[in-house]
Structure 1
Amino acid sequence: MSSGPPSSHETPSSHETPSGRATPSAQWLRVRADLKLRRFELAVRAAQEYPPAARVAGTPLLSAPRWIPPEPVPLDAVTITLDPGAPARGQHGVVTGRGPGSEGVRPPRSDGSRYAGYSEAMAALDRPAVFADLPTYRLRAADLSLPGRRGTLAFGLGRYFDGLDVGEACAHEFAAGVPELPLRRAVGDPCELRRRPANLAISTLTIRLARRRFGDVGGTRADGTRPGADAGSDAGGGNRDGDGDGDGAATILLHRRDPAKVGHAGGLLQVVPTGVFQPSGPAEWNLGNDFDLWRSITREYSEELLGTAEEYGSERRPIDYGAWPFAVDLARARGSGSVRAWVLGLGVDPLTFATDLLVAAVFEAPVFDALFAGLVDTNAEGAVHAGVPFTERTVQRLVRREPVQAAGAALIALAWKHRGELLS
């Protein structure tokens, strides 16, 4: 399958009409290649279609009232509920990306019939390496500003491709400059969750905190290296910043998503780990067993930071999180306070309508180093960059100038705003 625009060695007949014009499939591929190349620029432009008050911390990310709490909410204080019977597709008034108004992003096949959805066109013409239509927990309602620093998230069930058929299709429509943007207009307010399939991703900003002891100069690890010494320029533009780190040296991790490997946000920087909130597999017993925010984050930590495969044997039996050594060690560290997790908000990407729960997880350095002694440089979705300094200069660069996914930029900005509590 082609992973981009037609290459020069392909026969013209498959991509040109007898008159020499590009076929609809070739035109679709060219727009998709442009979308993958200019995602950041297009997201910034798309954000301008919405009121400035809807944007989070001056970033392109969009949000709704009560989605950004005034203070960090402990992860355990967010109650989640699941209604498996809630309509997932085909409900009256829900935009699916498979009906009228979506023809401009669903090219015809060779027999003249159109692909049923954008995901079907992707599978046939531009299939990423990681691409499967697995079940998801579909977000239906959210309130993260309840009294007492609490929140609620209500879910139904969905499918991964449902989100692509609307969100990625709307991004393609925007990149192509389709007149009147009919699919995007049909969605309307992207923060109105019941108007479209809203698969939730959990984006976690991982902060490694090396506390300075009395007499330390500059802050060092147990092995004598400085936190952030391995940051380099790969993660967005420079070596370790020289502005102060306060009472400790805090560093973060970033992920550069490979457009050849992923169906969403390829080529952009993002916090790590980030993953769709979904069961570990299609077996029915996974629906309840995996319906837990921290368990989802745990699996993503294992996959994205340690490079483990997304194969848990859950097609045969539910994951036993109490017998999985990594999950046990991570839970023990969290129980001791050496790992602390907060929810900072919820937002929607203005280009793709990807919906992200914004989580910050702070690890005491010795615990982080023990849990992630096998930290990888690359994983199934891109490259991992560790040791990025969590300083004002770096934050401003990432939020204002680097091609960071909207959710990641907003999360970094919010974490910096609340750093006094997060790093205490």
Structure 2
Amino acid sequence: MDLGRPAKGDRVTVDGPPHALTDSERAWLRVRDQLKRHRHELAVAAAGQYPAATHVAGTPLLADPRWLPPVPIDLSEVDLQLVPDRPAGGLTGREPVSEAMRPLRRDGSRHDTYAAAVATLAPPAVFANLPTYRLLEADLAGGRGRMVFRLGRYFDGLNVGEACAHEYAAHVLEGGGQPLRAAVGDPRDLTRRAANLAISTLTLRLDRAAGTATFLLHLRDPAKVGHAGGLYQVIPAGIFQPAGPAPWNERNDFDLWRSMVREFAEELGGEPEGHGSDLAPVDYAAWPFAARLTRARAEGGVRVRVLGMGTDPLTFATDLLTVAVFDAPTFDAVFGARVDANDEGQVLSALDGATGTGIAFDQANVDRLTRREPMQAAGAALLALAWRHRGVLLRDDPAQTG
């Protein structure tokens, strides 16, 4: 799911600039275009600004030691806390230090935020400021995981993180400083900015009889998405947020597994979004797809582990890294009729434009995707960690985790 799904009444309908562009807006658009075209190269370069010890498994993704468990932990072992009234703090993207990322309008005023400039000057197909669960604290290294959230909005993350990416692109293309990035400081410090957590899931189909495992990829379409367009990513992946903006969804959807189920349904099953959440909370027990997937998890046909968390060095997008291992019969029963494309791009079951039933989970493909292909930093780190922990993830006895 794109990281900012519009609900009814929230869709941005601007097809282009509604007025003659200023020189400032034209310059902003030139940099924005280069950012969209060269995200992967810019992310790799931006990663070089941070110590190698902060990189996850040799990839550009950055992590705090507290974010990386020594061995994968079961999803059920991550405890969540929602503190809706806790002060947010950190930069908002409206400070004077962000002015260069907010171009001047014809009347001499600046666009209020970076997201406002995107919405007016270069909107993707869908772009909306929906509610999210903003991450405040995370510790995954102590045997059990603990994550603390408050309520937030999608644009909160863009107004600082995507603005910093724009600033870095301008720095590379035109020279100049990076005052906004400097103001953020360590991107792993969740007190300095809004961190809207995404859940990135490597979906493995494990064929025990053949002794093989395969996976799918997502090629994100830059015309459709507001984040990571043109890059490969694991599938499914999406922001951790309520199913819709109605207040009854806030508590009902504050669950990592429920968020993942919705992403599986939308990105692989082609199901529509929302699931009636504008009228009532989603009834996951009555929803056939969710009930089937949850039953499979309870029976051991699918096992979900958390491998860690990290932050993109370019955009500061923050991802929980998870692996869902499906036994082949369960995968085939649930996703046998999966889609080849969705609202965000293509679903790939082979590389190089070939046809196939899945990409082999092997050393060659992991090396290729983590080192030589334009892979989103979170996806690259997740593949590398999954390969490192393959003995645990693919073990015959799913009850053993250490």
TM over 0.5: yes
Post-superposition Cα deviations, 1:81-116, rounded to whole Å, max 9, x if no partner, equal 00010124xx3xx11111111111101122221111
Choose from 373, 386, 389 the match for 1:402: 373
Residue 133 of structure 2 aligns to a residue whose secondary structure is: strand
Residue 153 of structure 1 aligns to a residue whose secondary structure is: strand
Code of the residue aligned with 2:117 in structure 1: it is: A
Post-superposition Cα deviations, 1:274-333, rounded to whole Å, max 9, x if no partner, equal 000000111111111000000000000001011122121112110000000000000010
Choose from 204, 208, 214 the match for 1:251: 214
Post-superposition offset of 1:162 = 0.4
Residue 191 of structure 2 aligns to a residue whose secondary structure is: helix
Is the aligned partner of 1:278 residue 2:274? Answer: no
Post-superposition Cα deviations, 1:401-424, rounded to whole Å, max 9, x if no partner, equal 111000000000000000011011
Distance (Å, rounded) in 1 between the aligned partners of 2:145 and 2:244: 27
Residue 140 of structure 2 aligns to a residue whose secondary structure is: strand
Post-superposition offset of 1:180 = 2.2
**What corresponds to 1:238 in structure 2?**
none
Distance (Å, rounded) in 1 between the aligned partners of 2:146 and 2:337: 35
Q: Report matched runs for 1:5-16 at 5 Å.
A: 14-15=20-21
Code of the residue aligned with 2:109 in structure 1: it is: S
Question: In the alignment, is the contact (CA less than 8 A) between 2:21 and 2:106 conserved in 1?
Answer: no
Choose from 187, 199, 202 the match for 2:199: 202
Question: In the alignment, is the contact (CA less than 8 A) between 2:133 and 2:241 conserved in 1?
Answer: yes
Unpaired stretches in structure 1, ≥5 consecutive residues: 17-22, 213-218, 220-247
More off after superposition, 171-180 vs 130-139: 171-180
Question: In the alignment, is the contact (CA less than 8 A) between 1:130 and 1:381 conserved in 2?
Answer: no
**What corresponds to 1:351 in structure 2?**
314
Distance (Å, rounded) in 2 between the aligned partners of 1:196 and 1:50: 17
Distance (Å, rounded) in 2 between the aligned partners of 1:310 and 1:132: 14
Post-superposition Cα deviations, 1:367-415, rounded to whole Å, max 9, x if no partner, equal 1111012211110011111211100110011111111000000000000
Distance (Å, rounded) in 2 between the aligned partners of 1:264 and 1:55: 21
Question: In the alignment, is the contact (CA less than 8 A) between 1:133 and 1:159 conserved in 2?
Answer: yes
Question: In the alignment, is the contact (CA less than 8 A) between 1:289 and 1:318 conserved in 2?
Answer: yes
Distance (Å, rounded) in 1 between the aligned partners of 2:384 and 2:307: 10
Code of the residue aligned with 2:388 in structure 1: it is: K
Question: In the alignment, is the contact (CA less than 8 A) between 2:197 and 2:240 conserved in 1?
Answer: yes
Percent identity between matched residues is 61
**What corresponds to 1:181 in structure 2?**
178
Relative to the length of structure 1, the TM-score reads 0.86
Code of the residue aligned with 1:325 in structure 2: it is: P
Unpaired stretches in structure 2, ≥5 consecutive residues: 1-13, 350-357, 396-402
Code of the residue aligned with 1:255 in structure 2: it is: H
Q: Report matched runs for 1:57-136 at 5 Å.
A: 57-88=57-88, 91=89, 94-136=90-132
Is the aligned partner of 1:33 residue 2:30? Answer: no
**What corresponds to 1:417 in structure 2?**
388
Code of the residue aligned with 2:279 in structure 1: it is: R
Q: Which runs of 4 or more aligned residues in structure 1 lie more than 6 Å from their structure 2 counterparts after TM superposition?
A: none
Question: In the alignment, is the contact (CA less than 8 A) between 2:204 and 2:323 conserved in 1?
Answer: yes
Relative to the length of structure 2, the TM-score reads 0.90
Post-superposition offset of 1:198 = 0.5
Distance (Å, rounded) in 1 between the aligned partners of 2:70 and 2:273: 35
Code of the residue aligned with 1:125 in structure 2: it is: L
Distance (Å, rounded) in 1 between the aligned partners of 2:259 and 2:229: 22
Residue 14 of structure 1 aligns to a residue whose secondary structure is: coil
**What corresponds to 2:158 in structure 1?**
164
Residue 336 of structure 2 aligns to a residue whose secondary structure is: coil
Please, what is the CA RMSD of the aligned residues?
Answer: 1.4
Distance (Å, rounded) in 2 between the aligned partners of 1:72 and 1:311: 31
* Count of aligned pairs between the two proteins: 371
**What corresponds to 1:226 in structure 2?**
none
